[in-house]
Copies of this chain bind each other. A is one copy, B any other.
Amino acid sequence: MPTLVVHQIPVCPFSQRLKILLALKGIPDAVSHQVVDITRPRDEELLRKTRGTTALPVMELADGRILKESMVLLQYLEDIYPERPVAQREPYRRAIENMLCRMEGEFTGAGYTFVMNQDLAKRDTLRENLLKIYARIDDFLRQHSTGEGPFLFEEFGWAEAVFTPMFMRFWFLEYYEDFQLPEGDERYARVRQWVAACKAHPAAQQVSEEEIVKLYYDYAKGAGNGALLPGRKVSSFVFEPDWKGRPWPPKDKYRVSASDAELGLGIS
């Protein structure tokens, strides 16, 4: 019976981090996830709990206290469920892990800026910008990873829990931007190996490519967080109809603007 509740947006990458951590610890049900419908005005009771702030996810403790910020929540779960440690404990290894995780903010920002871009002229620059960060991660892994496997250390761990949800969100770049790490290019060989192993790991199978591509259609058209695009009445983040029954959206984000009907939305 979970006494911890996480309030999150649909397919929230930050909440997926928590789910991955708990899966690695063998306690996937330790937290109850409440998905907030971001296409509607925020619930009054939740707003009261968060003192008016709307950023998600937030974690509600059994006594009603609220914690925020995905990395803070991740550490909190690591601390209260210490039995199977996921974060490194040895100081130097912990520092290496933390250094890699410090690169995640810029990486995520570059990917989201890219998918939300609507200016065809900026596309190449945004692609190059993201590739540079992949190359830096590649270099970091070559320098610091231990052992022969694909992960930073011997096993899928803390850094992988942090990055994998973003690798999976970036399916929206493959679909809407034809973005791929250039094959056969040595600058990305190590990070490509890491990304593939992270996405394939059993602890990280909470979302699918199809779900990401369908729900993030509005991001690809420049509208984030449940905001409505011109001419549209329904957000791609809406709960009903479920994404499984909707058609795949058009890939060409720069020239095509799909209607609600074309996206399978608004049929009640």
Partner of A102, one of B69, B91, B94, B96: B69
State whether A92 and B76 are in contact (beta carbons under 8 Å apart), knowing that A139-B51, A143-B51 are contacts in the complex: yes
Partner of A75, one of B61, B68, B98, B143: B98
- State the oligomeric state as a number of copies: 2
Residues from chain B with Cβ under 8 Å of A67 in the complex: 92, 95-96, 99
Proximity string of chain A (173-199) to chain B, C-beta cutoff 8 Å, 1 when within and 0 when not: 000000000000000000000000000
Residues from chain B with Cβ under 8 Å of A75 in the complex: 94-95, 98
How many of chain A's residues have a CB under 8 angstroms from any CB in B?
23
The CA of A71 and the CA of B102, in the complex, are separated in Å by: 9
Give chain A's interface secondary structure class. helix
Residues from chain B with Cβ under 8 Å of A69 in the complex: 98-99, 102
Residues from chain B with Cβ under 8 Å of A35 in the complex: none
A48 in contact (CB, < 8 A): no
